[in-house]
């Protein structure tokens, strides 16, 4: 019998839930896309040629937008930023890596001359808040 590094039993219900989490074309992203169109801002989605593959970007006007899930990217002070109790060390390491990666990709984009905006999933429920945050891109 072979042994793996992580002997924590896997909960089938939790696995099914995590498989349903989308990475692209989420509701939050669609809400931000609606506001961008309303503001008349042209964009490309998931631009893989830029560091971190921003959810939205305009290379001509040098801006990039990340739409981050509060849970996965650790939105400070948000009620959605919870930590699972099962396999806690794994989750804490995963979240720390996500936050570190977010900082690095933002730094790289800014070094390239891009304005970077992070919109949190919980903010997308209020289009006026998103509109206010994105108006700065219209210069």
Q: How far apart are CA 51 and CA 87, in angstroms?
A: 30
| Contacts with 133 (C-beta within 8 Å, 6 or more apart), sequence order | 117, 119, 123
| Contacts with 91 (C-beta within 8 Å, 6 or more apart), sequence order | 83, 84
Q: Is 130 helix (H, G, I), strand (E, B) or coil?
A: helix
Domains present along the chain, CATH in parentheses: 22-137 (3.40.960.10)
* pLDDT at 3 (0 to 100): 46
Phi/psi at 45 (nearest 5 deg)?
Answer: -100, 145
* pLDDT at 10 (0 to 100): 67
Residue 59 above 60 pLDDT?
yes
pLDDT digits (tens, 9 = 90+) for 5-22: 555 566 676 566 555 555
Most confident segment among 5-9, 14-18, 91-95, 134-138: 91-95
pTM > 0.75: yes or no: yes
Residue among 86, 68, 62 at smallest CA distance from 136: 62
CA 73 to chain centre: 6
């Amino acid at each position: 019998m072979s042994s793996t590094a992580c002997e924590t039993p896997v909960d089938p219900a939790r696995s099914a839930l995590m498989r349903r989490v989308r990475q692209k074309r989420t509701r939050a992203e669609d809400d931000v896309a609606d506001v961008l169109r309303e503001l008349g801002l042209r964009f490309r989605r998931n631009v893989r040629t830029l560091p971190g593959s921003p959810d939205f970007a305009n290379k001509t006007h040098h801006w990039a937008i990340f739409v981050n899930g509060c849970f996965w990217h650790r939105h400070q002070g948000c009620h959605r930023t919870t930590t699972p109790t099962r396999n806690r060390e794994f989750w804490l390491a995963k979240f720390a890596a996500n936050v570190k990666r977010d900082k690095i990709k933002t730094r790289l984009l800014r070094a390239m001359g891009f304005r970077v905006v992070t919109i949190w999933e919980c903010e997308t429920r209020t289009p006026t808040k998103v509109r206010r945050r994105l108006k700065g891109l219209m210069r």
